[in-house]
Amino acid sequence: MMKKESFRRILIRIFWISLVFTIGFSWVYIRYAVPDRLNLVVNEEEVFHFALPPGVTFESDSEEVVLKNASEIPQGMIRIERPDAVSMYGKNEGSYRVGMKFLGLIRMKDIQVEVVDGSYAIPCGMPVGIYLKSKGVMVIGTGQVTNDTGNVVEPAYGLLKSGDYIQTVDGEDLEDKNDLVDAVSASDGKTLALGIRRDGRRIEVDMTPVLAEDGSYKLGAWVRDDTQGIGTMTYVDMNGNFGALGHGISDSDTGELVDIEGGELYETQILGIEKGQTGKPGVMSGVIYYGKGTKLGEVKENTAEGIYGTVNNHFLDSIKTDAIPVGFRQDTHKGTAYIRSNVSGEVKDYEIEIQKVDYGSIQKNKGLVLRVVDEELLNLTSGIVQGMSGSPIIQDGKLIGAVTHVFINDPTRGYGIFAENMISH
């Protein structure tokens, strides 16, 4: 009897451990397999394909979003028999919530459902020169200074760190790094109160400039106040708002997303293309034409999903293509698609193959895996090169995404972002 009782206890423990493991695994799986946000076109049924475990229940918290089963009967709550296909219908525009439960009991996830009017945008594919002005003077790092007595010191060490933004000196706002240099030079070695923005918090740091051996005063910090480069315009909407790149602009030294107060777009000319090869991404090189007559628009935001702002009439007059519908992630599928690019000197559509669609990717700008198959583009670039980020992806007549990254070990392949992630940033 003792052996049977012991065996029974072991089985019970195994059962509970298995149940906890199953629930935990399902929670993690669902967390990453299903996106936190979905978009529906008002009065149109949308079908989403998710590889979900059995026993998943979807529950709409609002009558405005109707969940449907295979028999097309609207239900407030349904148990999914084939969890790879979930149908939703939005009655009115707005923001609603759909919940997911496991075994009808455990709330696993809330999905924000945005019911919107069908949107249109012009897929561009044109290169633009980008100039960004940081919000304050960005600290790249600290360094050593040889002072007037010949000793090597590092005055900023432990006080400033990479990614800090110096916004004020003794209460005076800084416009650029020249203002910082002037303030340090005029300090005559007196302690300065630096207003710092660090990780979104405002702090104050007291620093005493060091008299260097060349007779100037220094803080021992490397700083930068602007960023510039070449990228690709993804789309312009009907109101002249643009989205570009499909990923944010980060500082080349710190890797941090540049916190900007504004920026501009300018005309650019591509002068050459270095083809990509295994282990070494290719790159487009060119020149940016800065000037009043070559300005194309204003940059207002630098986010993880791209840069955003407005274009001017000069840019709008240069667009030769029409607006097309914006496709949502449920419109995207494996197979043939096209990227629009100006790498040849004129805007063309080049054939690609979408190899993977990750509807629930936690990295918003890596939801698609694509491969270049167009021979003309392969001959020009060997695939995807730096500077092509933002090239719009078109499938079935809809703007469904943009190119964001190239695979280091295979320049013919890369990642893309869903267009809805860019537009709803």
Per-residue b or e along 199-214, where b marks 16 or more CB atoms closer than 10 Å to that residue's CB: eeeeeeeebebbeeee
| Residue 121 DSSP SS3 | strand
Q: Which of 164, 225, 331, 374 is catalytic?
A: 374
Please, is 401 exposed, middle or buried when counting C-beta atoms within 10 Å of its C-beta (0-12, 13-18, 19+)?
buried
CA distance linking residue 210 with residue 202, whole number of Å: 25
CB contact at 8 A, 231 and 245: yes
420's enclosing H/E stretch is helix 419-423
Q: Which of 134, 247, 382, 391 is catalytic?
A: 247
Return the closest-CA partner of residue 171 out of 189, 156, 193.
Answer: 193
Question: Is 185 tagged catalytic?
Answer: no
DSSP track, 204-265: EEEE--EEBTTS-EE-SEEEEEEEEEEEEEEEEETTSEEEESSS--B-TTT-PBP-EEEEEE
CA distance linking residue 307 with residue 300, whole number of Å: 8
DSSP β-ladder status, 210-211 and 217-218? antiparallel
CA distance linking residue 386 with residue 373, whole number of Å: 18
Question: Is 170 tagged catalytic?
Answer: no
Per-residue b or e along 155-180, where b marks 16 or more CB atoms closer than 10 Å to that residue's CB: bbeebbbbbbbbbbbeeeebeebebb
Q: Which of 26, 382, 389, 391 is catalytic?
A: 389
93's enclosing H/E stretch is none
Encoding tokens for residue 241?
A: 């708002």
Q: Within 13 Å of residue 184, how many CA atoms lie on the same side as its CB?
A: 23
Give me the torsion for CA of 76, 80, 82, 87, rounded to 10°.
30
CA distance linking residue 129 with residue 144, whole number of Å: 35
CB contact at 8 A, 319 and 347: no
Return the closest-CA partner of residue 423 out of 91, 50, 116.
Answer: 116
Question: Is 333 tagged catalytic?
Answer: no
Q: What are the catalytic residues?
A: 247, 374, 389
